[in-house]
Amino acid sequence: MKAASVKQLKDELKHKSPKELTELVLRLSKFKKENKELLTYLLFEADNEFEYVAIVKEEVVEQFAEINNYSFYTIKKAVRKILRNLKKHIRYSGKKETEVELLVHFCECLINYSPRIKSSHTMMNIFDKQLEIAGKKIKYLHEDLQHDYTREIERVMELA
């Protein structure tokens, strides 16, 4: 079965009643955890982006605390998992400010992580790439935010 385009879905949804739409959304939320998480974000957390960012930052800190320090291989796998989860939360929000703030926070947690990641070429590449992505996203923000986040990135780079 081939999936319909977004336009086709949009046109078809226009013909549904509010009750039918509610049933469709609830049925959709039962199939994948990500659908349920996105719906949770849209219904409960989208109105307060500041609190959402704080919750995600706290999750990142907790995930870094749970990393098994057995070897750089296990650390690398755990860091990539944290980054995947972070990117998922960024996609839910869809806001550039949130993306930059969370990526900078991730990089700060990564560079402050013990054992030091500076001895791992792979970990430093992850760090550099995420800072580069955050730097590119800054261009789309308001001038004041650009200045603030540029200073944040410079501060994190000094830690490295």
Give the domain extent around 61.
47-159
**100 contacts 134 by C-beta, under 8 angstroms:** yes
User: What Rg do the C-alpha atoms of the chain give, in angstroms?
Assistant: 19
Question: How many domains would you assign to the chain?
Answer: 1
> How crowded is residue 137: how many other Cβ atoms within 10 Å of its Cβ?
17
The mean of the pLDDT values for the chain is 89
- 8 inside domain: no
- 92 inside domain: yes
- 107 inside domain: yes
CA nearest 62: which of 72, 70, 54?
A: 54
- Angle between the 33-40 and 72-93 helix axes, to the nearest 10 degrees? 50
> Could you tell me how many residues make up the chain?
160
Q: What is the pLDDT of residues 1-36, one digit of tens each?
A: 787 788 888 888 888 888 988 888 888 888 888 988
- 22 inside domain: no
High-pLDDT (> 70) share of the chain, %: 100
Q: What is the pTM of this model?
A: 0.85
Q: What is the pLDDT of residues 72-105, one digit of tens each?
A: 888 899 999 999 999 999 999 989 999 999 999 9
For residue 39, with 0-12 CB atoms within 10 Å meaning exposed, 13-18 middle and 19 or more buried, which class applies?
Answer: middle
- 102 inside domain: yes
Pull the structure tokens for residue 88. Answer: 């998922």
- 112 inside domain: yes
Q: What is the pLDDT of residues 102-139, one digit of tens each?
A: 999 999 999 888 877 778 888 899 999 999 999 999 98
Instruction: Break the chain down into helix, strand, coil percent, rounded to 5.
Output: 80, 0, 20
- 154 inside domain: yes
> Mean of the pLDDT values across residues 63-70?
89
- 26 inside domain: no
d(CA 160, CA 154): 10
